[in-house]
């Protein structure tokens, strides 16, 4: 595992050396600004019905309930993970990586941690506005829902990036990797449509909304830190990374 820091460092510095990184960051900054604008509107509207548990929670409007946030995330995550391993396979640099004393597990972990760091950097613009809300709006934010939202966003991101890494390992075509990741993430987001198709059946509805990342994030934003969801995110992460390692190991035999 001692090679992982070097791999992460290279991954992150390569990412931030590309102008693309800053365009994506700028895009997220604009979305954060628009969402913040809506949040301020909502908070200053005396007729607004606010509740601090459930979907009417203001933090929910800011992040989890914002369709712009989800669209941007569903584009940004595949865009940043598609490169990770597929690019190395396409350009042949994987040959240099797999002929030094570095194991496949180390490579996959390095790529994944690098991806998670980039994902967290994308979300930073959303955090920037919150101190202003407190400073100039005099609006007292409760720390607990923010912490649980932070944990939820992080574990969800770890899962998303791991899925992206698995797709990136499976192909040398970046577009294929991006499309595969995008479709998987979109399914996780829109899985609630299943409820509308099969009708209101109690068992189904519960299972489906448990799997929906949209519902999960709303819950986190409301301050309900459901450890079952955290466990789900982490186990999908481990499984996806395991698949990526196996795909890379299989490459030696082909």
Partner 1 sequence: MIEVEHLSKRYGAVRAVEGVSFSVGRGEIVGLLGPNGAGKSTTMKILTTYLMPTSGRARLAGHDVLDEPLAVRRKVGYLPESVPLYPEMRVREFLRFRSRLKDVPGSRRRAAIDDAIQMTGLEDVAHRVVGNLSKGYKQRVGLADALLSDPDILILDEPTAGLDPIQIGEVRELIRELGKRHTILLSTHILPEVEIVCGRVVIIARGRIALDESLEKLKAGQAVEVEVRGPSDAVRGVLETSPGAGGIRKLAVEGAAAGDPGVCAFEVRARDEQAVEELRELIARRVVQNGWALRRLDLSRSSLEERFVRAVRDAVVVDHEGEAA
Sites of contact with partner 1 (CB under 8 A): 2-3, 6-7, 9-10, 14, 17-18, 91-103, 252-254
Length of the chain: 254
Minimum gap (Å) between residue 173 Cβ and partner 1: 18
Nearest to 247 by CA among 156, 111, 117: 111
Q: How far apart are CA 221 and CA 46, in angstroms?
A: 22
Return the number of the residue (18 or 134) whose C-beta is nearest partner 1. 18
Return the number of the residue (82 or 94) whose C-beta is nearest partner 1. 94
Residue with tokens 């991006």: 178
Minimum gap (Å) between residue 242 Cβ and partner 1: 20
Minimum gap (Å) between residue 83 Cβ and partner 1: 12
Return the number of the residue (5 or 54) whose C-beta is nearest partner 1. 5
Minimum gap (Å) between residue 87 Cβ and partner 1: 10
Residue with tokens 């829109």: 190
Nearest to 248 by CA among 171, 174, 185, 178: 171
Task: Say if residues 82 and 167 touch (Cβ distance below 8 Å).
Answer: yes
Minimum gap (Å) between residue 221 Cβ and partner 1: 37
Q: 107: exposed, middle or buried (C-beta count within 10 Å: 0-12, 13-18, 19+)?
A: buried
Per-residue three-class SS string for 3-50: CHHHHHHHHHHHHHCCHHHHHHHHHHHHHHHHHHHHHHHHHHCCCCCC
Return the number of the residue (93 or 235) whose C-beta is nearest partner 1. 93
Residue with tokens 């800011």: 62
Minimum gap (Å) between residue 238 Cβ and partner 1: 23
Residue with tokens 């959303």: 126
Task: Say if residues 178 and 79 touch (Cβ distance below 8 Å).
Answer: yes
Return the number of the residue (2 or 228) whose C-beta is nearest partner 1. 2
- Distances 105 to 65, 88, 131 between C-alpha atoms, Å: 36, 16, 40
Task: Say if residues 161 and 112 touch (Cβ distance below 8 Å).
Answer: yes
Minimum gap (Å) between residue 56 Cβ and partner 1: 47
Return the number of the residue (54 or 96) whose C-beta is nearest partner 1. 96
Return the number of the residue (49 or 100) whose C-beta is nearest partner 1. 100
Q: How far apart are CA 19 and CA 23, in angstroms?
A: 7
């Amino acid at each position: 595992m001692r090679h992982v820091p070097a791999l992460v460092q290279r991954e992150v510095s390569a990412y931030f050396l590309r102008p693309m990184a800053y365009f994506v960051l700028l895009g997220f900054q604009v979305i954060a600004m628009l969402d913040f604008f809506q949040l301020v509107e909502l908070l200053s509207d005396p007729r607004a019905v606010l509740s601090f548990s459930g979907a009417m929670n203001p933090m929910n409007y800011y992040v989890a309930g914002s369709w712009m946030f989800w669209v941007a995330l569903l584009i940004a995550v595949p865009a940043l993970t598609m490169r990770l391993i597929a690019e190395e396979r396409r350009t042949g640099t994987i040959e240099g990586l797999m002929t030094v004393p570095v194991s496949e597990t180390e490579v996959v972990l390095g790529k994944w941690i690098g991806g998670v760091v980039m994902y967290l950097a994308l979300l930073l613009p959303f955090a920037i506005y919150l101190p202003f809300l407190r400073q100039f709006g005099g609006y007292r934010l409760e720390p607990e829902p923010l912490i649980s939202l932070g944990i939820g966003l992080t574990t969800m991101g770890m899962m998303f990036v791991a899925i992206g890494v698995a797709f990136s390992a499976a192909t040398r075509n970046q577009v294929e990797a991006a499309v595969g990741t995008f479709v998987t993430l979109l399914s996780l987001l829109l899985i609630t449509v299943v409820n509308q198709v099969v009708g209101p059946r109690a068992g189904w509805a519960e299972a489906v909304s448990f799997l929906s990342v949209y519902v999960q994030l709303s819950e986190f934003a409301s301050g309900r830190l459901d450890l079952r969801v955290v466990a789900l995110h982490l186990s999908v992460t481990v499984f996806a990374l395991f698949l990526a390692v196996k795909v890379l190991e299989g490459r030696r035999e082909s």
